[in-house]
Amino acid sequence: MNTSVAKAQPQSKSQKTEKMAANDPAVRQVRTPRELKQQLSLSDALVLQIDHQRQQVRDVLNGDDDRLLIVTGPCSLHDEEAALDYGKRLAALNEQLSDKLLIVMRAYVEKPRTHIGWKGLAYDPERDGRGNMEQGVTRSRQLMIQLAELGLPLATEALNPLTMLYLDDLVSWTAIGARTAESQTHREMVSHLPMPVGIKNGTDGSATTAVNAMISARHSHHTLGLDVDGQIAMLDTPGNPDTHLVLRGGKNIHGQTITNYDADSIAASLTTLAAGGVNAKVMVDCSHDNAEKQHLRQIDIAKEVVSQRTAGNKAIMGLMLESFLEEGKQGMDGEQGDGQLTYGKSITDPCISWGQTESLLKELHEVL
């Protein structure tokens, strides 16, 4: 009888690394993009709808559709019920105004932070500071499917290229922020995205950074990334010709706010775009520095910009608004700090209300 004990085989370096990761509370596995997209798949009809809506945005950008592109919705999505409520109202309004306006709903599940703070539904869906991206990307995808099924084109801001792998098939228009427009990683990501992309001017108010990003993004790149199975891969990006400038204002070296929605600023931006050989079309972000952090100014800014368009400036292709069911904003713990959130009110940037949004879009439609 053989009583010898087999010796344990030494673990390889990769096995040790996997074991350490499995036992590390700071490393939590998330299903792959392919797995989530298979679990929450799109119907054939929805795939065709989104493809058609992307083409509609391209047609506006290329001058083949003379409607005004309106990207409107909450600064960030934090409450699925309120987001769907807003989406249903916007879809109904779109049916009335679609001959003059191409309305796209903001569905922002990632938020850039100057320092720290809530990073969005995809990162911290329970808003408890602990984060849960497995739940976050799942809930984000579920909500965006429900919004798309209302018939609305969707817009989002792309911050983390990995997050976009879970959502990219749902989005008709994507934004790149003022702080990420200089990032080589983001320029390569835009080169790989299958929809039109608006790139915001730099935080100094200059269009130069955005123009450089547009030039870079329209070319092919060889870059490291992930495939849909979460495997590191070299990507040969196809290049994205469908980019444009978004004017959002900025601040000078003294910290003073600069607005750039006036006729002279728009004309200067168009000159910069033409010199760069990129799409000479602009969208105006009526919020952020253009509104000098005063959300109600969005209404007057939108009217001013549309007056420029009706006066003959067809290079103005669209507007962006931050809008929710209720006006203003509240803290993460509610308006009274008691943890009770007001339904339909932003927890990030202040928004105009649904009533103000509806009145504004109807007035712009009549003017156009």
Domain extents for the chain?
33-367
User: Which pLDDT tens digit goes with each residue over 151-209?
Assistant: 999 999 999 999 999 999 999 999 999 999 999 999 999 999 999 999 999 999 999 99
Q: Angle 208-217/263-276 helices, nearest 10 degrees?
A: 40
**What fold, for 33-367?**
TIM Barrel (3.20.20)
User: Amino acid identity, residue 187?
Assistant: R
Question: What is the amino acid identity at position 130?
Answer: R
pLDDT digits (tens, 9 = 90+) for 35-92: 999 999 999 999 999 999 999 999 999 999 999 999 999 999 999 999 999 999 999 9
Largest CA distance in the chain: 99
Q: Tell me the whole-structure pTM to 2 decimals.
A: 0.92
Quote the percentage of the chain above a pLDDT of 90: 87
Pairing of strands 243-247, 282-285: parallel
Report strand pairing: 257-258 vs 68-73.
Answer: unpaired
Give the pLDDT of residue 31.
95
pLDDT of amino acid 5 = 44
Q: Which residue has the tokens 């509240």?
A: 330
C-alpha angle 250/253/255, rounded to 5°?
Answer: 60
